[in-house]
Structure 1
Amino acid sequence: MFPRRPLGIPSVSEAGNRRGSRAWDESDVRIRPNKKGTRPRTKNRPAYDDAVTGRIVTVDRGRYTAVVDEDTADERLIVAARARELRRSAVVAGDLVALVGDLSGGPDSLARLVRVEERRTVLRRSADDSDPIERVVVANADQLVIVVAAANPEPRTGFIDRALVAAYDAGIAPLLCITKADIRDPAELLANYEHLDLRVIISGTATDTAGIEATSDDGASARLSHPAVDALRQELDGQVSVLLGHSGVGKSTMVNALTGSTRATGGVNAVTGRGRHTSSSAIALKAADSSPGTWIIDTPGIRSFGLAHVEADRILSAFPDLEPGTERCERGCKHDDRAVDCGLDGWVAEGSAGESGPVRLASLRRLLSAGMSEARAQAMDVKELGTQ
């Protein structure tokens, strides 16, 4: 016996008669649309074989300016937005990228950045030595120009050492440029690096009678001598170079002299002794009167250069005058201030690292101690115990 139909609910046949002669079927069922879309998901991404390669010259609030058809009659700048699948990927000045869409470079045109090509070199830093997050500064650079002033602001060997470590770690050739040598003789500063294979250019010596003036707000000289600019232009020719330095050392003035641009310049705060920031983002500029492929990347003036991403043995490789002394160390020696019977102490004491050996060893140990957080030190201890 079939169950009795509740009162008020029509049968299928009655419903069909009310709607006409047709009975109910699956087409009468209403399905709410999926808010996330109804297209099936796929891991297959477009190859973008027709994409055009461009070089990123600057990044500004989610918009990427790139140069395409470089060193040809059709060379132009285009603005691009990053494709959705690249939102978690860092794109920085110097990157070579694949671009599709509107590549005309006209007003209000917008291309799409769909791929970041493999990088030859990557210059990284962290916010400080305890920050595990790496920050890419620039990509595909051939050399790092470390710009410091002989005085005003005071040169800091710690900053130079950190920049050297970052350059060696990235496989980038370092070059040290010292400005404002007319204020103070940089000989004492250079003594710390006499045992390194480090190229040095000095600007503003007492024998320089003419140069490119860039007087600071407090009246201190920031002159770049013509011989120094010519030497720099020769060293940078045909290379992608990134300039790194504190604010107020004359870096932007140097960029203007080499590229013909008009980057803002600034002086040094008379109270803090620190430079004023004049650059807010990295930008790649073509060097004037140079070979094709000569790019200068100007970076914002920085006050910290963390090395949390660099391993201790790679930091040591940046001190080739000290590294041979580690052969005398016992297994597991960390070579820092807490190391017992470290072979570096005897190596320096006998003069094998030269007169600046003690200063260089102190600089190395500052880096090792600063970059070695407790968690990282414990991880290294565990790793060493596992190999014994």
Structure 2
Amino acid sequence: MSRRAGTVGGRTYDESDVRIRPGKGSRPRTKNRPAHEDAETAMVVSVDRGRWGCVLDGDPERRVVTMRARELGRTPIVVGDQVGVVGDLSGRRDTLARIVRVEERSTVLRRTADDTDPFERIVVANADQLLIVTALADPPPRTGFVERALAAAYAGGLTPILCLTKSDLAAPDEFAAHFADLDLPVVTAGRDDDLSELWSVLDGRLTALIGHSGVGKSTLVNRLVPDADRATGVVSGVGKGRHTSTQSVALPLPGAEAGDPPRGWVVDTPGIRSFGLAHVTPEQIIDAFDDLREAIDDCPRGCTHLGPPADPECALDALTGSSHRRAMAVRVLLASVSATGTDDAPTDARDDTL
């Protein structure tokens, strides 16, 4: 088949003389992505303006600053995530590695801005437990926030623990009694309290700490991690190397001797005034209790498990003994989740001291 030809200025041209410049983005894409089999495992310990601070192989001395690889797109990466990292892993100043993989999360602590906001924000990933820090006085304790934090912990797969501060100003028994039927572990961590019980709870685990501003959470963190102020800046290793009150950061709990591996990790989250639960369902909360999970199999379809008059045939009402008491305590949590509004945040938050 002959090519079409033409004559211009006495010279004959055909199709072979035409050069077509490829358009932008015309290079064929491939679905084959690099496997990055050489990626080293790391834990995200801080996030700041498109940079992630990570520790390699759980060693706080091996810190690197990373960026998100292009192939991950807008995949969210949060403190506590286990990731695969490649590139410059020296940790030297002004070097960047790349996060190329985010491992499946075992737990997630989520919150929304309020109960009507559909947008979920993951606060911490892969935490084993949630330490709910509450002051016994100044500001006075409120059950609402604790109930909401419990609901978020149960829904996300974390084990909740109630930590009561400022025990020199008020006794813990009365407030702790509100949650006795949930079998909720309670520890005190006032200014003069020995922390050995708390240490036994934190040992070997990744623990997220949450609490309203003014309850003594930051002071508690400084008692657990004596050089927390210095460690915060070093562990961040991102942006200007500073941790602000609007960011979460994971801090290693010091070992018994210098040079020992960390006894665990605590994630210091920013002080919050609300804890939206738009993402939590009643079944997620009930699922945390084996006896209640089995009981609701006999509930009629559409049961909200809140009991009469809304649910006159709820199977939780047929329970007896400790299971019945636990079911009634869980109903308080369910009512807290279903009631749009405040979490009883103190309106007179003060400096964060014990």
What range describes the TM-score normalised by the shorter chain of this pair? Answer: 0.7 to 0.9
- The question of 1:253 aligning with 2:219 is answered yes
Separation (CA, whole Å) in 2 of partners of 1:122 and 1:95: 10
Asked whether 1:62 is paired with 2:50, we answer: yes
Secondary structure in 1 matching 2:283: helix
Question: Which range moves more in the overlay, 335-344 or 148-157?
Answer: 335-344
Determine helix, strand or coil for the equivalent of 1:370: coil
Aligned residue for 1:267?
A: none
| TM-score, length basis structure 2 | 0.79
Counterpart Cα distance in 1 of 2:119 and 2:9: 70
- The residue aligned with 1:123 is 109
C-alpha distance 139-366 of structure 1, shift in aligned 2 (>3 A)? closer
User: Could you say what secondary structure the match of 1:24 adopts?
Assistant: strand
Q: State the Cα distance separating 1:128 from its structure 2 match.
A: 1.7
Could you say which residue in structure 2 is the equivalent of 1:192?
Answer: 178
Q: Following superposition of structure 1 onto structure 2, how do residues 17-36 of structure 1 map, counting pairs within 5 Å?
A: 23-36=12-25
The separation in 1 between residues aligned to 2:287 and 2:328, in whole angstroms, is 17
Question: 2:43, 2:57 within 8 Å by CA — same for their partners in 1?
Answer: no
Conserved in 2, the CA contact under 8 Å of 1:321 and 1:353? no
Query: In structure 1, what is the equivalent of residue 334 of structure 2?
Result: 364
Q: Contact 2:151/2:333 (CA < 8 Å) preserved in 1? A: no
Render the CA deviation track for 1:312-367: whole Å, top value 9, x for unaligned.
Answer: 2223345789878868865533234861536589679999855x987764443232
- How many residues are aligned here? 320
Indicate if the aligned counterparts of 1:146 and 1:245 stay in contact, CA closer than 8 A: yes
Would the aligned equivalents of 1:252 and 1:263 in 2 still touch at CA under 8 Å? no
Partner of 2:245: 279
Q: Distance in 2 between matches of 1:296 and 1:351?
A: 33
Kindly state the Cα deviation for residue 61 of structure 1 after the two structures are TM-superposed: 0.6
Task: State which of 70, 74, 79 in structure 2 corresponds to 1:93.
Answer: 79
Which of 141, 166, 170 is the aligned partner of 1:180?
Answer: 166
Q: Does 1:149 align with 2:135?
A: yes
Highest CA radius of gyration, 1 or 2? 1
1:240–1:293 contact (8 Å) kept in structure 2 = no
What is the CA–CA distance in structure 1 between the aligned matches of 2:72 and 2:289, rounded to whole Å? 38
Structure 1, unaligned stretches of length 5 or more? 1-10, 17-22, 205-222, 265-276, 372-388
- Separation in 1, partners of 2:262, 2:322: 46
Contact 2:127 2:158 in 1 (8 A): yes
Q: What TM-score, normalized by structure 1, do the two folds share?
A: 0.72
Q: How does 1:102-141 map to 2 (within 5 A)?
A: 102-141=88-127
Displacement of 1:279 in angstroms is: 2.1
Aligned counterparts, 1:292-331, within 5 A: 292=262, 294-317=264-287, 331=301
Which fold has the larger relative contact order, with Cα–Cα distance below 8 Å and residues 6 or more apart in sequence?
2
| Residue number in structure 2 paired with 1:230 | 196
Check whether the contact 1:335–1:342 (CA below 8 A) recurs between aligned residues: no
Separation of aligned partners in 2, 1:95 and 1:346 = 40
Distance in 1 of aligned mates of 2:298 and 2:165? 39
Q: Which residue of 2 aligns with 1:4?
A: none
SS in 2 for 1:40: coil
Choose from 139, 153, 158 the match for 1:167: 153
Deviations 1:69-125 (A, max 9, x none): 4349xx421111111222321101111111111111111111111111122222222
**Matched residue type, 1:45:** R
Q: Which runs of 5+ in 2 are unaligned?
A: 1-5, 231-242, 342-354
Residue number in structure 1 paired with 2:239: none
Partners of 2:142 and 2:219 in 1: CA distance: 20
The amino acid that maps onto 2:283 is D
Q: What is the RMSD of the two structures over their aligned residues, measured on CA atoms?
A: 3.3
Q: Distance in 1 between matches of 2:113 and 2:148?
A: 13
Amino acid in structure 1 at the alignment position of 2:125: A
C-alpha contact 2:282 2:334 (8 A) present in aligned 1: no
Q: Alpha-carbon deviation of 1:237?
A: 0.8
Structure 1: how far apart are the matches of 2:253 and 2:321? Answer: 46
SS at match of 1:12: strand
1:91 partner SS: coil
Q: Which moved further from structure 2: 184-193 or 298-307? A: 184-193
Cα deviation, residue 47, structure 1: 0.4
What's the offset of the Cα at 1:32? 3.8
Which deviations, in whole Å up to 9, do the C-alpha atoms of 1:258-310 show, x marking residues without a partner?
A: 1123449xxxxxxxxxxxx9722110110012564611111011122122222
Distance in 1 of aligned mates of 2:213 and 2:28: 52
In structure 1, how many angstroms separate the alpha carbons of the residues matched to 2:205 and 2:40? 22
